[in-house]
Chain A
């Protein structure tokens, strides 16, 4: 009986507590910098697209919402001809970001993507590309990996360091 009254009193006192609810449209909850939200394609410090159209993100995607087609520019560098993400399928798992070898595809803290038409949730490359390097400023995949184009192998250009040989790090 005492326990019963104590329970009622404890619950009653909760009326004076601070509310746990965040009244969403007016006040927004804090989103951590690494929140997995909308997907973007970033550029390297020189302003070029980082994506090399390796398809790893499309393979890693558990719901198959990423579609892309590889092509080459006049120097033989790989680029996506189109890059399409269907956000009505995307589950924001971040596997594409983990799979990406060039830090091109990244998830950003933004989830407010509501649309009235389903088709509006299909984002093309122009919609996905942002101007900056995202979470990895200063990283340039081609400077780390070296690039072989027609007439020049990796590390053969002027003022270009020879590429890192990962096997040299082995004991």
Chain B
């Protein structure tokens, strides 16, 4: 029952996020956003889902059919699978793996693979450029994403996300690991292709990037996977650096929800406020700034823990 509940919860949250993002973006752009369908426009998601479900399921004749169909499923599945290791509250979670963090990192990389495949299988120049950027972006952020989390692992002494939460009883890891937290947020943004690092999509330059050729439910899979990804990175930021379910008075699951929602709102604010960097700027920023910074953070953390 628990996996199903988590699955439904995550997908519902991601669906609500579609609405919440549009409303929040509108709020910060002096607009109202969708407010017509149902109370406060909440049923807009349902209307969108009906529209996407009833669209023709079309594969372009020039596409590599098998990979074209596989790619959105891959993106979606990896995004959802990552949630298997996220500890929502004591007793709520799918599995308590002792390599949970590694599993998360592996699944994020697999998700990027799906994006690259989508760009390749579409057999269109814009999609290919999007996929190409995704591959380069993957190499950039993977390098410092793992390193930024090493500090947390050293402090907690475990890869188990549950253990990591419990290790934050005294002080949240954001205090000793502020640098790690910032680098992880940047890496997370790049990992889920979220603005300002949505270079694989880059609708201002590449039509719609890797999913230019997708429509209907296959497009919806990419779409939902993106929002599941936002939820995932937000949940992991809360778990790794902000004490997960730990908090006074309110029940643990509420704390987890509040912390996750805070990061979701922060990511949406980033989208509303920041412009997209150029491709080479992102690469240079990743390799020349973030990688040395996270390495230094790891070095200092290790030195302090050992001494």
Contacts and interface: CB of A to CB of B under 8 A. Distances in A.
B269 A20 contact: no
A85 to B, nearest CB: 32
B31 A8 contact: no
Contacts of B27: 14-15
Interface residues of A, number: 14
B89 interface: no
Contacts of A12: 28, 269, 273
Contact of B30 (A4, A8, A19, A23): A19
A124 B291 CA distance: 73
A17 interface: yes
Interface in B269-284: 269-270, 272-274
Contacts of A21: 30-32
Contacts of A4: 274
B272 A20 contact: no
Interface in A8-65: 8, 10-12, 14-15, 17-21, 23
Contacts of A14: 27-30
A18 B269 contact: no
A7 B269 CA distance: 10
B24 to A, nearest CB: 9
Contacts of A19: 30-32
Q: Of residues A11, A12, A18, which shows the largest number of chain B Cβ atoms within 10 Å of its Cβ?
A: A11
Contacts of B270: 8
Contacts of A18: 30
Interface in B198-252: none
A23 B32 contact: yes
Interface string A141-154: 00000000000000
Contact of B273 (A11, A15, A23): A11
Nearest to A20: B30
Contacts of B30: 14, 17-21
B273 A8 contact: yes
Interface in B20-49: 27-32
A23 B273 CA distance: 25
Nearest to B274: A7
Nearest to B270: A8
Contact of B31 (A7, A10, A11, A20): A20
A15 B274 contact: no
Nearest to B275: A7
Contacts of A20: 30-31
Nearest to B265: A12
Nearest to B32: A21
Contacts of B269: 8, 11-12
A119 B282 CA distance: 55
Contacts of A15: 27-28
A156 B274 CA distance: 77
Interface string A103-124: 0000000000000000000000
Nearest to A5: B273
Nearest to A10: B273
A21 B31 CA distance: 6
Interface string B158-197: 0000000000000000000000000000000000000000
Given A14-B27, A14-B30, A15-B27, 14 more contacts: A4-B274, A8-B270, A10-B273, A11-B273, A12-B28, A14-B29, A15-B28, A18-B30, A19-B30, A19-B31, A19-B32, A20-B31, A21-B32, A23-B32
The 8 closest A-B pairs by CB, nearest first: A11-B273, A20-B30, A7-B273, A14-B28, A15-B27, A8-B273, A17-B30, A11-B28
27 contacts: A4-B274, A7-B273, A7-B274, A8-B269, A8-B270, A8-B273, A10-B273, A11-B28, A11-B269, A11-B272, A12-B28, A12-B269, A12-B273, A14-B27, A14-B28, A14-B29, A15-B28, A17-B30, A18-B30, A19-B30, A19-B31, A19-B32, A20-B30, A20-B31, A21-B30, A21-B31, A21-B32
